[in-house]
Amino acid sequence: MASVSGKLSNVIASALSDPSALEGVDETERMKLLGALDKAQVTASLRIAQGMGVFDAFAATQGQIMKLSELNERTKGDQQLLSRILRVLCRANVIEEIEVDTFKSTPLTAMFSSGTPSADAVKMIYSQIPITANLYEYLKRNNFRNPEDAYQGPFQAALNTKDHFFEWLGNHPEDHRIFNNVMSHQGQRPKEWFEFFPVEQKLQVTSDKVTFVDMAGGIGNDLKNFRFHFQELPGRMILQDLPQVIDSIIDPLPDGVEVMYHDIFSPQPIKGAKAYYMRSVLHDWPDKQALAILGQIREAMIPESVLLLNEHTLPAANVPLYLTHLDFSMLETLSSLERTKQQWIDLLEKAGFKVVEVWSPGAQIVGSSALIEAVMA
């Protein structure tokens, strides 16, 4: 018996295939809608092909042309399923069918062989599908209210867990490895925050004071980059994160950089620093938990201190597609959100801060972030 979702997809696809059914919708937009229908199927096909060893088979033969029967010998599973998966991948231009049952690799094929960031990205996106599939039911049960608690959201409902996403990763080593691999290959940002923020004007202290505290700073990449560009900036610089993160640091940190175990939900041990900095931390948390984090920071600040948040800031209208996808992922996995400038201001004011300036690198493009400067209200 055909699934309800399958029937629905057929009905929608039939309607979209008939231009008269969508009067006033131009051809480009109609084709975009058609393409959106099968994104989950393409993701599933990529993941299945990985499991069968299709991409590794092409990599092992250095991309030589292969008949279906030969490819079947080099992969897991049966030939009929392989043929059906290849149809999807050929239509998505991941593999090319040059004649009947004869295939060659494309520039995309090697991207999905084992161990590559793109291959792990497919695994990570595929793991989101159960959460997406359950999202409607979750929202319906909650009267279509926006998720407000990081421990009682769509992720927990779909996976039947009480763990936060990050706690869940800690208990699933392979998923954790995949997540770290994908996150560490996000590409170079168009501009670093210190390229459009007046560091030397704003962050001057005497050498015995703490200039900069990088909270939840990971293995220190941001702080190392900052220190490299401002080697003469006086004062101490401190990298903070959870013990398991700090203990994973392999490469040496620059002179003048100290490390410290710290949980951002605990009282901030460094009192009276000039700058407390976080990059892409608060977007992981809905307002409930974000306010708790900000409260701990504010308690440690003095009037001369400044809070610096390096975060995506959504435009008020016409949000770029990349950021809408990111915001939706925040909703599904973390019960959180990407915030607009006004939402950041509202959040910080509620936490007892005053926003001094929202510094921007210019055009909003993939990978760009604003720097929000705030002080105690």
3-state secondary structure of 345: helix
Q: Determine which one of 229, 283, 312, 325 is catalytic.
A: 283
Which whole-number Å values give the CA distances from 94 to 53, 73, 79, 116, in the listed order?
Answer: 14, 20, 19, 15
Using DSSP bridges, classify how beta strands 353-359 and 370-376 pair: parallel, antiparallel or unpaired: antiparallel
Q: Tokens in use for 299?
A: 């308690």
The CA-atom distances, in angstroms, between 37 and each of 6, 12, 63, 233 are: 11, 9, 30, 53
CA distance 269 to 263: 10
Residue-wise burial string across 85-94, b where 16 or more C-beta atoms lie within 10 A, e elsewhere: bbebbeebeb
| 283 belongs to the catalytic site | yes
Coil/strand/helix, residue 302: coil
Residue-by-residue DSSP string for 128-188: HHHHHHHHHHHHHHTTTPPP--TTSSHHHHHHT--S-HHHHHHT-HHHHHHHHHHHTTS--
DSSP state of 55: H
Residue showing tokens 């080697």: 231
Instruction: Give the whole-angstrom CA distance, residue 44 versus residue 36.
Output: 14
Tell me which residues are annotated as active site.
283
